[in-house]
Structure 1
Amino acid sequence: MKPEKLLLEFEEIIAQMGYRLRKERGNFRGANCVLDGDKLIVLNKNQPAEVHLGLLARFIEEHNHDDFFIKPAVRKELEKIWNLQSPRKDPELEFNDE
């Protein structure tokens, strides 16, 4: 799925979760907040769609997304991104209690 199409799908999920999405210019990466009772996610317009996808995917993962319908193709893409974002374990740092 193309990044722009996937971004639209993520935006629909965010809307189902009760958040409004704003794209602004500035010196910031992007985050969610509550402003005057409105739940917002602000994305930096200067960043590419791939950065927006990563931020929105992380937001969806960290919030209760199981209560919302996510199309199977979109869920598959989300899971790919979540797996890429997961902290990588370095096998050299793992110890066994043997």
Structure 2
Amino acid sequence: MAIKYTKHFLDKLENLFAASDYILRYEKGNFKSGYCILKDTKIVIVNKYFPLEGKINALVDILGELQFNPQDFSEKSVQDFLKELQQTQLKF
């Protein structure tokens, strides 16, 4: 799956987090990687000043780190989207 740097693709990533146990927030901060994961409280914070491309890259990177299981989601569309993302590797 090719990553598309569009607002629609960002919305799909945000919906994936909304369907999970994690809360996604956009805040300002000095994150070296552009994001921060508070695993004990299940909160993901992404730098709100990132451009669209940076937000998408950060969210895809976070999804790889959290390693969600597609079977944990009730919606089939979310499961399929997550499976496709897990097969995607970012190339910088």
- TM-score normalised by the chain length of structure 2: 0.66
For the 8 Å contact 1:19–1:40, the answer to whether it is kept is yes
- Equivalent residue letter for 2:70: D
For the 8 Å contact 2:35–2:44, the answer to whether it is kept is yes
Question: Take 2:51 and 2:79, find their aligned partners in 1: how far apart are those partners?
Answer: 24
How many pairs does the alignment contain? 82
Alignment counterpart, residue 84 of structure 1, candidates 77, 87, 90:
90
Alignment counterpart, residue 61 of structure 1, candidates 64, 67, 71:
64
The more displaced of 39-48 and 21-30 is 21-30
Q: How far 1:79 sits from its partner (Å)?
A: 5.6
Alignment counterpart, residue 32 of structure 1, candidates 28, 37, 40:
37
- SS in structure 2 at match of 1:53: helix
Q: How far 1:73 sits from its partner (Å)?
A: 6.5
User: Percent identity, aligned pairs only?
Assistant: 24
Provide the alpha-carbon RMSD of the alignment: 2.8
Question: Take 1:4 and 1:53, find their aligned partners in 2: how far apart are those partners?
Answer: 9
Q: Which runs of 5+ in 1 are unaligned?
A: 87-98
- TM-score normalised by the chain length of structure 1: 0.63
Q: How far 1:74 sits from its partner (Å)?
A: 7.4
Q: Which runs of 5+ in 2 are unaligned?
A: none
